[in-house]
Amino acid sequence: MSERSVFESMPHDPRDPNPWQALYLDHSTPIDAQVKDAWLRDSSSKSRQFILPLARPFARLAIILIQLVRMVLPNSFTSSPLLHRLIAWALANFVRPEANWLILRHFHMGSEILDFIARNVPGTQVPLNPLRPTNLPALRDDLFVKHDINLFNFVINVNRELRAQQREITRPPTLDFSGISEGNFGIEAMPERWHNFIDLQTAIELFTPIYQLFLTDNDFWRATNSLQLDETIAIYVARILEQPHNLVLLNNKHPLVPLATLAAGHRLVLHGLSSEMLYELLVRTKRAHAAQTSATQLS
C-alpha cells in the first residue's frame, strides 16, 4: 500500500471542503494512517457511492428468502470449501486492492489480539489457532469459518480456566506485547486490474447471502453472533491495560442481545473498523510501554 496518502496533498477549498480529507486529518480515534488512507479511498469510491445503495436491498432480500429455505432445509446444499473458493476467486477478480488488503489484515489482527489477551492472563493455558494469510488463495482453507470458531473457542476456554480458578481478568504485573507485530503482516500485493472496482462494504453486503447459502444454518448464525463479541474482547483488553474509556469505540454491543441477520453486512464493516482501532491501541500502547521501559533503564 502507498506510504503517503492522497488526502494529505489534496488542496483544501473552504467553500467546498472534502469530507474524506476531514476524516483522514481527524485524529480523535486510534487508527493506523495507512489503514485510514486505504479505508477512506475505498469508502470514497464510485462503487460505494452508486453500487452499494442498489446492492444492499437486493442482498437483504436474498437473506430473507434464504432464511425461509433454511427453516425447512437447515443443512442442505451446503459446502464451506466451495464457499471459500468462490469468495477467494471473487475477491481476486472484482474487489478493490485496498479492500482485499484490509480483509487479509483482519485475520492477522484477530489472531494477535487473542494472543495478547492469552499472554496477559497468567496462570491459564489457552490453545490458539492463529490465522495469517498473506494472499487471497490462502482464504480457501475455510479461513472465514475458522476465524469465527477461534473467537468462540477462545472465550469459552479462557473463561473456563478463570472460573475454575475463581478469578477475573486483571492487569498482570508485567505486560507482554511480544505477540503484537505492529502491522508487519507480510501481505502480498493485491490484484489491481480494471475489473477490481467493488468496494469493501458492497462486497460484504453481496457476500453475506452467499455466505448464508453455502453454510449450514448453525454456522451462519454463529458467524453473525460472533460480531456481538466485539465488546467482550474489548473489555478483556481494557481490563488488562486498565483503559476502560476506550470502550467508547465499540459499535456492535450488547453481547447478550444478538441482532437479526438482516444487517449482518453492515455490522461486519463496523466489526472490521473496531478491530483496527483496538489493534492500533495495542500497537501504540506497546510503543509507549517500550519507550517508558527504555527511559527507566537509562535513568
Q: What is the mean pLDDT of each run of 10 residues along the chain (299 residues)?
A: 77 95 93 96 97 96 94 88 97 98 98 97 94 98 96 97 95 96 94 97 97 93 90 93 79 78 91 94 94 78
Is 22 within a domain? Answer: no
pTM score: 0.94
Is 254 within a domain? Answer: yes
Distance (Å, whole) CA 142 – CA 35: 25
CB 63 within 8 A of CB 261: yes
Is 258 within a domain? Answer: yes
The domain in which residue 258 lies consists of 32-128+138-298
pLDDT at residue 299 in the model: 67
pLDDT at residue 285 in the model: 95
Q: Is 16 helix (H, G, I), strand (E, B) or coil?
A: coil
Can you name the residues that pair with 198 across neighbouring β-strands?
A: 95
Is 67 within a domain? Answer: yes
pLDDT at residue 117 in the model: 97
pLDDT at residue 260 in the model: 82
Is 15 within a domain? Answer: no
Which residues, 6 or more positions from 126, have their beta carbon under 8 angstroms from its beta carbon?
A: 118, 154, 157, 158, 161
Q: Is 133 helix (H, G, I), strand (E, B) or coil?
A: coil
Is cis: bond before 147, omega within 30 of 0? no
pLDDT at residue 248 in the model: 65
Distance (Å, whole) CA 58 – CA 177: 44
Which residues, 6 or more positions from 112, have their beta carbon under 8 angstroms from its beta carbon?
A: 130, 179, 180, 181, 279, 282
**Residue from 109, 131, 122, 127 nearest 230 by CA:** 109
Is 276 within a domain? Answer: yes
CB 134 within 8 A of CB 188: yes
Distance (Å, whole) CA 213 – CA 210: 5
Is 26 within a domain? Answer: no
Is 174 within a domain? Answer: yes
Overall number of domains in the chain = 1
